[in-house]
Each structure stands twice: as structure tokens, then as C-alpha cells.
């Protein structure tokens, strides 16, 4: 396994991070434990979760993923050897069953304390805001549309102040963003100059089908040293090629949850076919090519993989040993130039 430091810390995290949002929905508790055991055996020390998980978010399964991770930590007594990241859910119709108070002081305190209980730990290494409170383009929305009568008021400083209180209490160690845009990143970084904690990571979607992070956030990532934790590097499994080749199972994510259409456009399918043809020409799996491309980006701190079975997990982790040569990267970029960011 390869490792990088979380920016502005001495914490070494594996360049492959285990995503867990299937635990408690697509995967049982025992399957989740099996994945965690195997990941650790392969050198992974970085685990990402969220209070919202599993996905799709439902009141009946709220917090179940964290609970499963918590029972695994208790069983193995290995908290000190793993780096644990979690998130507070942002506002929205699909999170009303969690709370409706956004990132207020009471919401942050409640979310952190409840996560600590479920995870059976007394601290979280990296605590992230799952998506912005304000109205902006996230989760597949390409362009920003301003709402002049929006009720949200600038509260970046207040959020950092309240997160700092939790840091002082020892409940969280460092903080990060997720599904954030350049303006939000820079506002948080600007406010942190007032003796407030600094956001050190940003967890956004990044894959062969969605390279929009490169447009504005990548420069911020490099110049301001805020590392990308890339999620959906396989675009919900689309970039394995299984849907094109007819190898998808009935319990594959896009078959189970029809509303997940972020990577299902005609242009996404066309681009995927071209990437699959390139991978076949190179004699490697599309999975390995897609993950290796993400692994090699200088602005990526860790690549968050997810799997529903052990074969998928092994193949995903094996991507850390794949190095794409300049000719392959050029060929990938040519496809990207032809069909840029078919997903968002």
C-alpha cells in the first residue's frame, strides 16, 4: 500500500480509502466486517463513513453504517491503528428524518456525539460537512443558478468556531469539506485565518466521467494544499464496464436504485464504451484503468473505493499497483476532449 499525509498533519493515510456506504443496505454487518478485515490486511488504514449512511438515506437505516463499523472496532480493539472519517448530513428533503437545523452549533454537537456512540470511539480523525447548507450546484447539477431570496446567511466563521469547540474537546481532530465548490472552499479558508481551524480535505466526485474538479477546485487543491478524497471513482460501477457488457447483477447499485441516474446519460455510455475499448486494447480491466487514473492525480490524497463483494474489493485495491504510462494518459485525455465530463 502507498501512503500520503493528510495536509497540515503528520497523519499518514493509505492512498486507497475504504468507502462504507453500502454497509447496512447492500451489505450485511458480517459482510461489512469481512470487507474491513480484508482492507486492513491489504494495508488500508483509512475508512470513510457518514451519519447518513447507508445510501439511499432512510429513517429506518439511519446511522447503521457507523454502527457496523463501531462493532468491528470494538471486536478488534484496533481504533488506534485506523484513520476514521465521518460526516454530518447537510439539509434537504431526504435528510429531514435526521434533523432540520443544518450546521448549527446544536446540530454539530448532536451529530458528533451520536456518531461517536455508534462508532464506539471517543474521537473522529477527520470530520466533514457532507454538502453545503446554501443552495448551490451539487450532486449532478452542472450549472449554478442564483436564488436571490435564499434564506441562508453567510455562517462560515460560525461553523468553524463551533467545530473548533469540538476539536478542543478532543472529539474531532481535523475537519474537511464534501461536495463543495470553489467559492465555498475559499470562504472557509479565508475565515480560518482568524485563528480558526482549517479545512484540510475536500471529498468530491472524481472519475473518468466527471473531471469537473479540475476546472476550479484542482488549482485550489494544489495551491492551498487541500487534498481531494475522490469518491465515485468508478461512477457507481459504470466504469467497471459491467452494464455495457451485460455482466451486472440484479443487486448492482443502478439496478436496485433506479433514481441514481448521474452516470447513465447517453453521453456517459458512449464515453464508457470508448474507455472500455482503450482498456481492452491495453490488456487491463476498465476498473483498473479508471482507478489508476484517479490514483495518479497529484491533487488526490486518497481514492475512496466501494464494493459489494470481495472480488470487487480485491480488484479495486489491486489498482494501487497499476501505473498508467504517458501514452495511456494521453489516450484517456483524447477521449475526455471528445466527450468532456458527460456526468456531473
Using the 8-state DSSP alphabet, how is residue 342 labeled? S
pLDDT recorded at residue 248: 67
pLDDT tens digits along 198-217: 999 999 999 999 999 999 99
- The whole-angstrom separation of Cα 162 and Cα 174 is 13
pLDDT recorded at residue 302: 98
Catalytic residue among 38, 53, 144, 263: 53
- Compute CA 43 distance to the chain's CA centroid, rounded to the nearest angstrom: 19
Domain-wise residue ranges, the chain: 3-203
- Report, as an integer, the average pLDDT of 185-194: 98
- Model confidence pTM above 0.85: yes
pLDDT class for 255, splitting at 50, 70, 90?
low
pLDDT, greater one: 263 or 342: 342
- Percent of the chain at pLDDT > 90 equals 87
- Report, as an integer, the average pLDDT of 81-98: 95
344 pLDDT higher than 80: no
Cell of 127: 470530520
pLDDT class for 262, splitting at 50, 70, 90?
confident
pLDDT recorded at residue 256: 62
303 pLDDT higher than 70: yes
pLDDT, greater one: 247 or 134: 134
CATH topology of domain 3-203: TIM Barrel (3.20.20)
pLDDT, greater one: 318 or 262: 318
Q: At what angle do helices 266-282 and 326-338 cross, to 10 degrees?
A: 160
pLDDT tens digits along 15-62: 999 999 999 999 999 999 999 999 999 999 999 999 999 999 999 999
Cell of 103: 450546521
- Report, as an integer, the average pLDDT of 179-188: 98
Active site residue 53: yes
- Report, as an integer, the average pLDDT of 134-154: 88
- The whole-angstrom separation of Cα 204 and Cα 229 is 7
13 pLDDT higher than 90: yes
- The whole-angstrom separation of Cα 245 and Cα 216 is 34
Amino acid at each position: 500500500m502507498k501512503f500520503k499525509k493528510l495536509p497540515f498533519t503528520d497523519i499518514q493515510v493509505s492512498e486507497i480509502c475504504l468507502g462504507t456506504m453500502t454497509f447496512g443496505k447492500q451489505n450485511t454487518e458480517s459482510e461489512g466486517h469481512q470487507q474491513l478485515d480484508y482492507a486492513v490486511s491489504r494495508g488500508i488504514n483509512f475508512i470513510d463513513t457518514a451519519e447518513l449512511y447507508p445510501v439511499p438515506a432512510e429513517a429506518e437505516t439511519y446511522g447503521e453504517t457507523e454502527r457496523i463499523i463501531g462493532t468491528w472496532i470494538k471486536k478488534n480493539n484496533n481504533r488506534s491503528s485506523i484513520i476514521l472519517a465521518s460526516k454530518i448530513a447537510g439539509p434537504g428533503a431526504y435528510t429531514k428524518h435526521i434533523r432540520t437545523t443544518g450546521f448549527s452549533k446544536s446540530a454539530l454537537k448532536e451529530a458528533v456525539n451520536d456518531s461517536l456512540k455508534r462508532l464506539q470511539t471517543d474521537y473522529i480523525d477527520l470530520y466533514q460537512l457532507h454538502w453545503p447548507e446554501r443552495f448551490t450546484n451539487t450532486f449532478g447539477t452542472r450549472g449554478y443558478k442564483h436564488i436571490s431570496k435564499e434564506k441562508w446567511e453567510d455562517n462560515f466563521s460560525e461553523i468553524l468556531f463551533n467545530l473548533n469547540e469540538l476539536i478542543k474537546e478532543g472529539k474531532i481532530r481535523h475537519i474537511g469539506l464534501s461536495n463543495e465548490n470553489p467559492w465555498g472552499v475559499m470562504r472557509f479558508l479565508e475565515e480560518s485565518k482568524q485563528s480558526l481551524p482549517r479545512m484540510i480535505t475536500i471529498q468530491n466526485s472524481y472519475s473518468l466521467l466527471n473531471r469537473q474538479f479540475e476546472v476550479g477546485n484542482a488549482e485550489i487543491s494544489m495551491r492551498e494544499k487541500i487534498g481531494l478524497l475522490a469518491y465515485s471513482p468508478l461512477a457507481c460501477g459504470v466504469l467497471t464496464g459491467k452494464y455495457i457488457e451485460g455482466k451486472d447483477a440484479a443487486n448492482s447499485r443502478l439496478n436496485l436504485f433506479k433514481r441514481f441516474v448521474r452516470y447513465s446519460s447517453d453521453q456517459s455510455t458512449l464515453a464508457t464504451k470508448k474507455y472500455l475499448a482503450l482498456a481492452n486494447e491495453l490488456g487491463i480491466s476498465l476498473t483498473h484503468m479508471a482507478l489508476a487514473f484517479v490514483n495518479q492525480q497529484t491533487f488526490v490524497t486518497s481514492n475512496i473505493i466501494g464494493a459489494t463483494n470481495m472480488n470487487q474489493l480485491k480488484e479495486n485495491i489491486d489498482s494501487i499497483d497499476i501505473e498508467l504510462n504517458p501514452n495511456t494518459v494521453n489516450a484517456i485525455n483524447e477521449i475526455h476532449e471528445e466527450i468532456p465530463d458527460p456526468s456531473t
